[in-house]
Amino acid sequence: MVILGKLKFLSRSFAALSSAPLRICIVGSAPAGFYTAEKAHEGVEVDILDRLPTPFGLVRSGVAPDHPETKVVINQFSRVAQNERCSFYGNISLGSSISLVELREMYNAVVLSYGAESDRSIGIHGEDLAGIHAAREIVWWYNGHQDCRNLTPDLKSSDTAVILGQGNVALDVARVLLRPTTELARTDIACHALAALEGSSIRRVFLVGRRGPVQAAWTAKELREILGIKDLDIHIQQADLVTTPADEIEMKNNRIRKRVYELLSKAANPGTSPLCNQRELHFVFFHRPEKFLELDDKSGHLAGVRLEKTILKGDDGQMKQVAVGTGVYEDISCGQVLWNSDSTEEH
């Protein structure tokens, strides 16, 4: 009888344990957070937090407005959120609205999937001049992110913008600056950005990278798109397209690099005569920024950027080539510099 009583007590306590559902908190409602929520098993309750009032993170604020197909995944995430086991809480900032300790007390598990939002300092003299922005800020600005609503980049004082960095974000920014505004008007670009771009005087964009076309981080689809923009003059130096044996090895191992290089080679034609008001895109390889130049009137405004020519030296350990300065300098005068912080590569 006693044993039976004890068994009953045990089974009841186990039942109580198993009947309470597992509760998980996911901090950050971008794709990482939603994919995690999607993979959660039956019976697990998921709460997704975000510091913004709206979910989806980079899908909403990072994907360029003229790439609506990439944003289609929002449908999949919405289906996850509509599940009764899943709840979304916006406007909650981890650290200020609620602490991690409190979350760990309330939930069985806490998943931190809030990404990396802040920029590394570029570490170059003159980076405080007006007219220098992190590319992330410009992307947030034209996507209507609430943190960069009032950025108001100056697109009227000059006809040249320099973008430091050669990845897909650099191509996105270049494309938004150079695309005809009639095309942009059909996208979900933020209204304040469209108005600013309609009044913009930017006609030349330089894409500057410290290494060569084989090492550039962008991918074929985005490159193909920007090379195909109507009425856009593409400038690529033939000298930059010369490959070394180390480059050949890199291309052999990496299908993307090979296809990107082929695209750039095809686009480097001898150059047509520039028409009036034609927009230009210049690919500048093997140059890294040395310092930013200030306007002569010392008003704190950007006048240009001084670039140092580089050559590549193979890093025997990783089969990766790094850029090394040569002491040869070149200036580009411009009114805007947009720099891309590289989160995966080392400088």
Residues that bind other proteins (CB under 8 A): 31, 35, 58, 67, 69-70, 72-73, 75-76, 167-169, 217-221, 224, 255-256, 259, 343-345
Beta strands in 91-247 (DSSP E): 109-112, 132-134, 160-164, 204-208, 232-236
DSSP characters for 46-109? EEEE-SSSS--THHHHTS-TT-GGGGGHHHHHHHHHHSTTEEEE-S--BTTTB-HHHHHHH-SE
Nearer to other proteins, 151 or 322 (CB): 322
Give the shortest CB-92-to-other proteins separation in angstroms.
23
Nearer Cβ to other proteins (218/285): 218
Please give the radius of gyration of the chain, using alpha carbons only, rounded to the nearest integer: 25
Q: Structure tokens of 102? A: 């409190």
Q: How far is the CB of 72 from other proteins (least distance, A)?
A: 5
Which of 197, 323 has the CB closer to other proteins? 323
Alpha-carbon distance values, 37 to 34, 67, 73, 81, 90 (Å): 5, 25, 14, 9, 16
The nearest distance, CB 165 to other proteins, in angstroms, is 9
Which of 254/278 has CB closer to other proteins? Answer: 254
Shortest separation between residue 297's beta carbon and other proteins, angstroms: 38
**200 versus 321: smaller Cβ distance to other proteins:** 321
Contacts of 229 (CB under 8 A, 6+ apart): 175, 178, 179
Find, among 135, 121, 203, the residue nearest to 173 by Cα: 135
Quick one: which H or E segment has residue 140? helix 135-142
CB of residue 31 vs other proteins: minimum separation in angstroms? 5
- The minimum distance between CB 345 and other proteins, in angstroms, equals 6
User: Distance between CA atoms of 156 and 198, rounded to whole angstroms?
Assistant: 10
Of the pair 121, 344, the CB lying nearest other proteins is at 344
DSSP-assigned letters across all residues of 5-39? HHHHHHHHHHHHHHHSPPEEEEE--SHHHHHHHHH
**Closer residue to other proteins (CB): 217 or 264:** 217
Least separation in angstroms between residue 255's CB and other proteins is 6
Nearer to other proteins, 73 or 295 (CB): 73
Q: 3-state class of 345 per DSSP?
A: coil
Q: How far is the CB of 303 from other proteins (least distance, A)?
A: 30
In whole angstroms, what is the distance from residue 345 CA to residue 147 CA? 27
Residue with Cβ nearer other proteins (56 or 292): 56
Q: How far apart are CA 138 and CA 130, in angstroms?
A: 14
Q: Give yes or no for a contact between 267 and 234, defined as CB atoms under 8 angstroms apart.
A: yes
Task: Give the whole-angstrom CA distance, residue 337 versus residue 331.
Answer: 13
What are the strands of the beta sheet with 302-315, ordered from one edge?
287-294, 302-315, 320-333
Please state the closest distance from residue 22 (CB atom) to other proteins, in A.
22
Nearer to other proteins, 225 or 280 (CB): 225
Pairing of β 132-134 and β 336-339: parallel
In contact, 216 and 284? CB cutoff 8 Å: no
The CB-of-25 to other proteins minimum distance in angstroms stands at 22
